[in-house]
Amino acid sequence: MEKDRSLQPPPPHVLVFPFPLQGHINSMIKLAELLALAGFKLTFLNSHYNHERLVKFNNIAAHFERYQGFEFKTITDGLPLDHPRSGNWFLDMYEEALEMKMKSGFAIDVAKELEIPIIYFRTSSPCSFWVYYSIPDIIQAGELPIKGSEDMNRLLTTVPGMETYLRCRDLPSFCRETDIEDSIIKLYVKQTQKSSQADALILNTAEELDGPILSQIRTKCPRVYAIGPLHAQLNTRLKAKHGESYDHFSNTLWEVDKSCIFWLDKQPNRSVIYVSFGSITSTSREQLVELWYGLLNSKTKFLLVVRPNSVIGKDGEGEDVVVELMEKSKDQGYIVNWAPQEAVLNHPAVGGFFTHNGWNSTLESIVAGVPMICWPYFADQQVNSRVVSEVWKIGLDMKDICDKKIVEKMVKDVMVDQKEEFVQSAAEMAKVTNQSVNVGGSSYSNLDHLIEDIRIMSL
């Protein structure tokens, strides 16, 4: 008998509100799409500035018309639209936003007051979440602050599950400040510990990747949904619904230079190292030149991303060096402002990823089975790179060093001398991770449970 639709409860309405950075938008838009695919009504709240860029560089209308009730709404980020937003501006804003939260209350306090269920989605890595959660214990045990550069390799004993590999050097970058009491780290810790009061916590990982750390987190936050890697989960579900040829949506905030794919098409299998440090990092002119010499001396082909305004030189110089390097490395390298990263990592010519270990980049590399060379910049990247190299053994960690000889050696190790081992371990990791987002896999089932639980919460 046909069900009377008027008797069915209306679909849950979920508001998704990312922090206005590329990495946060990427994973939160994927989560929003997954919930919309389940029939939920979705409101995605973006800053005016980022929404304009999303519309400019992606075919939003065509991609989102598949979802009923998916709505983009925008608010100001406090700056006029034509004002440049540098990496530093975002960092200042992040600090300000966290401070405001401390003064005015966290989203969780508001949600509790309004009696609305609240689910936290931490877009950064579970390992960094766990470290932030453990910081009061680290301080209590006298293991922080770090006592100078000679103290950086000391092993920490107070983060459960990480006793064998976590050094001071691998703590989130904000822990490097000497005045811990007065640092932004306090805000992070408070924000992280508030997570245990939420109705549930979503993490962009799979049980197979982060099982031991997830068990630790579950001792504090009992309802944790590990439903990642989200980009892979979304690909699986969209393919199942629309077939192989569904249009892949990249949600990029920069103009993608697709010419690098044509360049990659001409290179032999696994011969190119892809070099990119995400959407916020900046490098000094000297660091870029050192890195470039290392790449050149390794005799390995490279695809290098240098975002506009991301090179900092004396007296405003910086960008000019890129043109110079491009000219000099024509036969060996290709430089673009912004790459279609997922497509690049999945290209057969790519054999390694020189990365800052932003969590999205790390997951994209894992899913594509590409070994990494890690050069973390800030925040969770320091701990991510340690896990990549020491726990998963799918890469090498160059943390805190920028020396052309080391760059050359690491590129040769990953691309030539230890290629077999790295290719094998990265392939194994890719296999279990991709299985987790297929029907019957852990992330696939966890997402089904999350969808069901949100339906129940919203009744």
Give the residues lining the site for ligand UDP (CB under 6 A). Answer: 21-23, 26, 252, 276, 278-280, 305, 338-339, 341-342, 358-361, 364
| C-beta of residue 338 within 8 angstroms of C-beta of residue 361 | no
Give the residue with the Cβ less far from ligand UDP, 158 or 434.
434
Shortest distance (Å) from residue 342 CB to ligand UDP: 6
Residue number with the shortest CB distance to ligand UDP?
Answer: 358
Which lies closer to ligand UDP via its Cβ, residue 30 or residue 169?
Answer: 30
Nearest-approach distance from CB 153 to ligand UDP, in angstroms: 25
Q: Compare residues 50 and 341 and give the one whose CB is closer to ligand UDP.
A: 341
Helix (H) or strand (E) run with residue 281 in it: none
Please tell me the distance from the alpha carbon of residue 55 to that of residue 3, in angstroms, as a whole number. Answer: 39
In the complex with ligand UDP, which residue's Cβ is closer, 197 or 284? 284
| Least distance CB 435 / ligand UDP (angstroms) | 22
Question: CA-CA distances (angstroms) from residue 458 to 8, 11, 13, 267, 455?
Answer: 13, 9, 8, 52, 5
CB of 313 to ligand UDP, least distance (A): 21
DSSP result, 341-386:
HHHHHTSTTEEEEEE---HHHHHHHHHHT--EEE---STTHHHHHH
CA distance 288 to 294: 10
How far apart CA 11 and CA 6 sit, in angstroms, is: 12
Q: Which is nearer to ligand UDP, 138 or 374 (CB)?
A: 374
- Nearest 5°: phi and psi at 341? -60, -45
What 191-194 contacts at long range (C-beta under 8 Å, 24+ apart), as own/partner pairs, is 191/98, 191/101, 191/106, 191/132, 192/122, 192/129, 192/132, 192/133, 193/133, 193/136, 194/106, 194/108
**Lookup result for tokens 């990263």:** 341
SS (H, E, C) 157-185: CCCCCCCCCCEHHHCCHHHHCCCHHHCCH
Which of 158/176 has CB closer to ligand UDP?
176
Residue 42 near residue 71 (C-beta atoms within 8 A): yes
Instruction: Report, in Å, the least distance between residue 45 CB and ligand UDP.
Output: 19
* Closest separation in Å from C-beta 351 to ligand UDP: 18
Contacts of 67 (CB under 8 A, 6+ apart): 33, 36, 37, 42
Cβ 85 to ligand UDP, closest distance in Å? 13
**Least Cβ distance, residue 382 to ligand UDP (angstroms):** 13
CB 224 within 8 A of CB 24: no
138 or 260: CB nearest ligand UDP: 260
Q: Which is nearer to ligand UDP, 236 or 341 (CB)?
A: 341
Tell me whether residue 377 or residue 444 sits nearer to ligand UDP (CB atom): 377
Question: What is the smallest separation between the CB atom of 306 and ligand UDP, expressed in angstroms?
Answer: 9
d(C-alpha 163, C-alpha 143), whole Å: 13
The H or E element containing residue 15 is strand 13-16
Our CB check for ligand UDP shows the closer of 252 and 436 to be 252
Distances (CA, A) of 161 to 158, 189, 286: 9, 18, 38
Distance of closest approach, residue 281 Cβ to ligand UDP, in angstroms:
6
